[in-house]
Chain A
Amino acid sequence: MVTEIEQPTVELSKVAVSETHGEDSPYFAGWKAHDEDPYDESSNSSGVIQMGLAENQVSFDLLEEYLEQNSEASNWAEGAPGFRENALFQDYHGLKSFRQAMASFMEKIRGGRAKFDPDRIVLTAGATAANELLTFILADPDDALLVPTPYYPGFDRDLRWRTGVKIVPIHCDSSNDFQVTLEAMEAAYRHAVAMNIKVRGVLITNPSNPLGATIQRSVLEEILDFAKRNNIHVVSDEIYSGSTFSSSEFVSIAEILEARGYKDSERVHIVYSLSKDLGLPGFRVGTIYSYNDKVVTTARRMSSFSLISSQTQHLLASMLSDEKFTENYIKTNRERLRKRYEMIIQGLKTSGIECLKGNAGLFCWMNLSPLLETPTRKGELALWKSILHEVKINISPGSSCHCSEPGWFRVCFANMSEPTLEVALKRIHSFMDQRKTDAIQSPPQL
């Protein structure tokens, strides 16, 4: 056996010991609470319902139906070189048929309003890898990306942890439905300059997480013009593009570039993934679409660290090149998400809760600011905790998304069955009723 000796602990890297991975945050209490006491329709009907996970579970049956008719085993059949060729294929260009299928899928999602060239598609293991990779390419350590708030908490890790790049927030608030304004962008830019930080780009998520709303065309134009004036990049994370409730409301930055004849487009890069639209987060399918040749080449080389399994590429190449399947899927998925959204909005409304008007995504942006004891982050956290422990639902507090206005919460609705959503809405209703009763019985002290 090894004789262990007392040695000074050998150092790990600064990156390893830093906390930028973001997992030591108090919000993990919510996850813990769910993991320790998960809701189950039959076996644990009083457990914690997970509403903090932006997963799309509403369209699995469509995928299963496809797979039943298109078994992977046909690729393995006697005489088919399939598995062997597949297993050996490690070219970082990615399977051409898969890139073509992805390009076509992305076009369909945008109603044919934008064209995508398969040779500009770089494959990465999930959008997580795509966002980090782009950051490595577009910015040096200590430089910054401007990101509108509220934003996906994962960006803190994906954009900053190993890259050493900073995030400077573009503050948005409810006065205009949290839309990005030119003033806010300029203020963020000035703030960075004042801190001696070099801004390399703006990163937007469209449709937005956590807002669940698409960015308006005029705002996209403004962002592009702002980027041009300051000679910086624009990264548009369009991971929820297939989850818009109606096909016409989403405007992709690709459409705007096309309308501009692709002038000045080499500063624009789009991130996409199948984790949300297809509900396949486990398969790790992400892409970078860049209008910049050098970025495409470099990203492709860098993707060596996070390639997509060729087995998965092959499967999805077949699936996504099946026109009948994709058209039906996109349409049906949209419909179902819209219905879910309406269900939750209605349910919350009858409980006296307002939400931001949303038109996309797997969640809604709920306004509980009237319930705050104090209009502060602390007040929000306190409310969040009581919702977790009394209502027994895990939702995401706005502060975890860096929202500057306290009292907003992101509530996911697509990662559960309809009956479970009913249960959640009922609990919320009771909670709100109870609050009203409490308020009547103990009026605020003057």
Chain B
Amino acid sequence: MKFGKRIKEQIQESLPEWRDKFLRYKELKNLISSPAPAESIFVGLLNAEIDKFNAFFVEQEEDFIIHHKELQYRIQRLVEKCGDNEEMFRLEIGEIRKDIVNFHGEMVLLVNYSNINYTGLAKILKKYDKRRGGGIRSPFIQKVLHQPFFKTDLVSRLVREWETTMDAVFPAKVAEEGYERSAAVTSAAAGEGIFRNTVAALLTMREMRRGSSTYSAFSLPPLNLSDSDLVLRSVHLSSPIPIP
């Protein structure tokens, strides 16, 4: 039930367009508890879910690729336009910076989306096998590993690229607050959604990895989040999400 609750929270905190794209964990779980459906039915339903993931993931990925290039061009054009004019550069870069952070955030959330759905599938399969005493979990999961939605390599690569870019473009702590404020305030609302979702995701992960009652060979070890605990505590001040 813990995962069910967590994935529900995740979905609630997620970006609106994403909400119906997640695994329908609760429904599937309920489906199993009543006379568990025949394998063919169940597999069919799971396959349909996977279809959904793949379609959404690939579509988002395509959008990201386009946006990725556009951001690069924007920066490039700005650099060209400003030349040596550092002042001008700093004025305009604020908007781009916020965009980068939000873009980075969305991509991470897509990776999170992939992971949550995979984890949910693994859990559901485990429950099903427990109920039916079958062995569909292992081969099915093997198949899932090759699904497009699970292959997050490209998105992760872009994420890391932008982390590097951020370090490079915004290296020093400069007093930028003045001109950044106007740009940032309007768009902070956009960032809010992503920020909240990210925090929720981190909390979910921590909870899930805390150690379950059904710990087995296929369970994940507890999460090692020492650094981010500090971050999450500081987040408590600025985030409306109740943190346990």
Pairing of A with B: no
The chain A residues found within 8 Å of chain B, CB to CB, are none
The chain B residues found within 8 Å of chain A, CB to CB, are none
